[in-house]
Structure formats: structure tokens, C-alpha cells
Chain A
Amino acid sequence: MEKLYIESTKSTPEIRFDPVINQMYIKGQSYPENAFKFYEPIFAWVDEYIEQMEQEVLVEIYFHMPYVNTSSSKCLMMLLEKLDEAYQAGKKVMVRWYYDKENEMAMECAEEFKEDLTVPFEINPVEENS
């Protein structure tokens, strides 16, 4: 399976999904013109990836997103639900969410996702600009 790399823009995050090391990074703000269009190829990649995920391998997804608009939030929830299903089916998944420690909104956003999921979900403050 191919890596998925999408460069960031002002309103879309950097996407770096690597099926070899089983890590996915999403970094940056997300408020595109059409969030569903932006996230569609990401959903397709994750669907295919989950299909071929091995039971014993730990898959990690990292988020560092200072701002997410409402339609992007909906897309992130859809993405997390896919991983949550994989986790419930016995696969090893870990969500790691980072936020700049002054940015309460990014923390609350993560907490609300976490409330509705069963997958292990870590929320970590980081010093700004790291």
C-alpha cells in the first residue's frame, strides 16, 4: 500500500500516513472550502489500510490541530469512528492528540471526540510552536 502525503495549505492540514511504520499524522488548521471533499481521499486510504491491518500491530494516529471548523470536525469524527471500529474488532489502535497548552479550544475539541469513542485516546499539552 502507498503512503498518503498531502501538503498543508492555509486552510488544510498536512497529512502524512505511512502504512510501513503504521503511523498517521494530521497537523495544521482545517477549515477548507469543502471539508468532505478534502477528507474523502483520506477516508478511502484509511478504509483500505484498515482492511489490511494486522491484528498484532499497533497503529498510531497523531493529531496536532490548533483550529478545526465544524464541517472538518464532522470529518474527523468520521475518521475516528473508522479507527474505533477497527479497535472494537480487536485491532491495536492508539489516538494521540496534541494541543498547544494555551489553546483550550483544541483540548475541548479532543475531549468531545474522546467522550464518544472507546479507542485509547491520549490528550497531551505541548509548549507552543513545538
Chain B
Amino acid sequence: MEINLIDLQKKLRNDGILISFCGRFSQEIIEELGDAVKKYLETESISQNDTYNVFSIFIEQTQNIKNYSASKSSSPIGGKIANSGIVTIGKSENGHFVSSGNIIESKDVDALTGKLDIVSSLDKIGLKKLYKEQMKKEVQIDSAGAGLGLIDMARKASGPLKYSLVKLDEEFHFFTLRVNI
């Protein structure tokens, strides 16, 4: 079957999506897309600060997916996870949004929702406190991240983080995160 790009484009436009990428996130792709996001936002008349907020949420989301994939790279399902990434940056009536998704192992669902529920239950003051506590924790050698990404996104977001988990089969779920800025 031929891919119908007109329909795909229509769908993207209807959802307000300006930039999208789907596939394996490398640092180079993150950097290039990050630049594209910044350049695009500079043509819109928004403040430098809003531009950096969108850019920063884009970086945290894509690096989270990349770090998660990297943590699974030695496993036979590593490739499936790494290739499952998608990120979109768009505009709605409430401002900009960054939405991303990837496959996660079902056994990681509880740990992830646990973190998200804590972050979602806090106001900006509580989030700042949590951020500082996490900042003081010793770095785990095997991790490329500092465990600060979700907290930071929640602090910069204009509303609560929105997420969903769709069960694909016993072994995998698809995780989607949307952050409005």
C-alpha cells in the first residue's frame, strides 16, 4: 500500500503539529531538531524565555527516551524500544506543546507512573523542593540522567503533565507524555 502523505499532513495540521520526528533518537538528531524548534519559535513573536521553555522540554523528553533506550541496549528488545520513539512539537489555543512517546517494558510501568503521580500531586513550591532534594542525591553511575527531567518539565509546564499508557501486549506498553507550555 502506498503511504498517503496528504492524509498524514492533514492529520498533523489538524492536531496543530509543527515539527515531528519518529524513529531512533541519536544525540545528533536531538540537536538538529532542537535547532529547528528554536528557529521556528524565533519566527513566532514569543519571548526568548518561552522559546527556551519549549526547547528545554523538547530536550528533556527526547533525552529521557534516549536514556531509557540506552538502558535497554544490551537486551534483545533494545532495538524495538529504541526505534519506537516519536516526538511532536505543536501549537494549540493554549500555547505550545511537546508530546512524545515510546515503547516501555511492562515491568517498568509502575515505577514510571509512581514518579509521574508524585510529580502531578505537587504545586510549583512542592516541585521546587522535590527538584532540590533530587539534585542533592548521589548520581547513579549507570545512569546518564539525573532523575530531574520530569520534575523540571512539570515546573516549566503551564498545566499538569498529561500522560497515557496503552498496553500493547504482556511485555510492552506505549507511553505518551504531553507537556503544555
A residues adjacent to B (C-beta < 8 A): 10-11, 31-36, 66-67, 69-71, 73-74, 77-78, 100, 102-106, 112, 116
Contacts of A11 in B (CB 8 A): 27, 31
Q: Which residue of B lies closest to A34 (CB)?
A: B144
Structural contact, B31 and A10, CB atoms closer than 8 A: yes
Cross-chain contact of B48 among A33, A73, A78, A102 (Cβ < 8 A): A102
Structural contact, A103 and B49, CB atoms closer than 8 A: yes
Cross-chain contact of A71 among B34, B49, B145 (Cβ < 8 A): B145
Q: Which residue of B lies closest to A36 (CB)?
A: B139
B15 within 8 A of A: no
Contacts of A104 in B (CB 8 A): 49
Given contacts A32-B27, A71-B63, 10 further A-B contacts (CB under 8 A): A10-B35, A11-B27, A35-B146, A73-B146, A74-B148, A77-B135, A78-B139, A102-B49, A106-B52, A116-B132
Structural contact, B52 and A66, CB atoms closer than 8 A: yes
B56 within 8 A of A: yes
9 smallest beta-carbon distances between A and B, as pairs = A70-B148, A74-B146, A33-B27, A102-B48, A71-B146, A104-B49, A34-B144, A105-B52, A70-B152
Q: Which residue of A lies closest to B32 (CB)?
A: A10
12 contacts between A and B (CB under 8 A): A11-B31, A33-B66, A69-B56, A70-B60, A70-B145, A70-B146, A74-B135, A74-B146, A100-B48, A103-B49, A105-B49, A116-B132
- Binary CB contact string for chain B from 141 to 168 against chain A (1 if under 8 A, 0 otherwise): 0001110110110000000000000000
Majority-rule SS of B interface residues: helix
In the complex, how many angstroms separate the beta carbon of B138 from the nearest chain A beta carbon?
10
In the complex, how many angstroms separate the beta carbon of A20 from the nearest chain B beta carbon?
31
Q: Which residue of B lies closest to A11 (CB)?
A: B31
Interface size class of B (residues with CB under 8 A): 20 to 34
Q: Which residue of B lies closest to A116 (CB)?
A: B132
Structural contact, B135 and A71, CB atoms closer than 8 A: no
B88 within 8 A of A: no
Structural contact, A33 and B52, CB atoms closer than 8 A: no
Structural contact, A67 and B145, CB atoms closer than 8 A: no
In the complex, how many angstroms separate the beta carbon of B59 from the nearest chain A beta carbon?
5
Structural contact, A74 and B132, CB atoms closer than 8 A: no
In the complex, how many angstroms separate the beta carbon of A57 from the nearest chain B beta carbon?
30
Structural contact, B144 and A33, CB atoms closer than 8 A: yes
Residue among B34, B63, B151 facing the most chain A CB atoms (10 A cut-off): B63
Structural contact, B148 and A31, CB atoms closer than 8 A: no
Q: How far is the CA of A2 from the CA of B48 in the complex (A)?
A: 38
Structural contact, B56 and A67, CB atoms closer than 8 A: yes
Q: How far is the CA of A70 from the CA of B151 in the complex (A)?
A: 9
Q: How far is the CA of A106 from the CA of B56 in the complex (A)?
A: 12
B53 within 8 A of A: yes
- Binary CB contact string for chain B from 42 to 56 against chain A (1 if under 8 A, 0 otherwise): 000001110011011
Q: How far is the CA of A104 from the CA of B149 in the complex (A)?
A: 19
